[in-house]
Chain A
Amino acid sequence: MSTTSTFSDPNLLDWLEQQTDEQLEEAPFGVVRMNRDGVVIAYGKSESHITGISQEYARGKYYFTQIAPCANNRMVAAKYALPSLDEELDYILTYVCEPIKVRLRLLKSPQSQYQYFLVDRKAFSE
């Protein structure tokens, strides 16, 4: 992996686009790389630790209907209909049925090949 970026880096989308799927899966925060239809291409190890969902299970599935239905609403999933998106928000994910407070960052641009769902648990860990 090239020099690791940070969760709130303003140039994070550029960095993500330069990473291979395998490199993204090692990112220090949760990363989900989706194609423009919302199908999971890469599912980071950190994301897997937060949700308990394995990388093998997630790859190839529709993210917002099959993997993270908790985010399938106007606050998150619907935002990906926008041509350009860079938004951070506080949210809750579930580990089995345990609520996990997280910070999300939603990213895409008209030039980017993929769209990204990023999760930072550390922001709420203290």
Chain B
Amino acid sequence: MNTGLPEHLQRAWTLLHRAPIAMAETNGQGKIRQLNPKAVQLMMPMVAHLGLPGDNLLDTLAGFLPSARQAIAGFEGNSGLILEQEPYRLRFRIDSVLIERQFSLTIEKINDDSLLIFFEDVTDLLLKADALRYRL
């Protein structure tokens, strides 16, 4: 599977590798320390659209949701949830095709030098929920 990892970390790697939610740990300014493949999958089209180098997740997310950076700057606790499942809409182009998606964003402060960032593309979930309501 993943070479060089002890067995218990192999199992953790499988969870992180296949998780359907984007997860990342950054420093206090948003510089990425670690992230899972889903985070790369969702982040890279935003990075390309904004013309960023891709090493700062806050710069990328704030390009679409400027209030995220303000929420972090205004958070006064030493640790805790800064944003919880905050909805936001992304509009960007890939090869001149307009993409519009609905995202959900959670940011937790671990300490002054560590943020956990979770984000998810909930577009399909919202469409399924609408279809379910329509059937009812």
Contacts and interface: CB of A to CB of B under 8 A. Distances in A.
B34 interface: yes
Interface string A91-102: 111101111010
A50 to B, nearest CB: 11
A75 B45 contact: yes
Interface stretch (B12-20, B63-71, B72-80, B103-111): B12-20
Contacts, number: 71
A41 interface: no
Interface residues of B, number: 29
Contacts of A91: 44
A57 B34 contact: no
Interface string B120-132: 0000000000000
Interface string B7-42: 001000100111000000000000010111110111
Contact of B4 (A52, A75, A90, A98): A52
Interface string A73-97: 1110000000000000111111011
A74 B41 contact: no
Interface string B34-59: 11111011111100100000110000
A97 B41 contact: no
A38 to B, nearest CB: 15
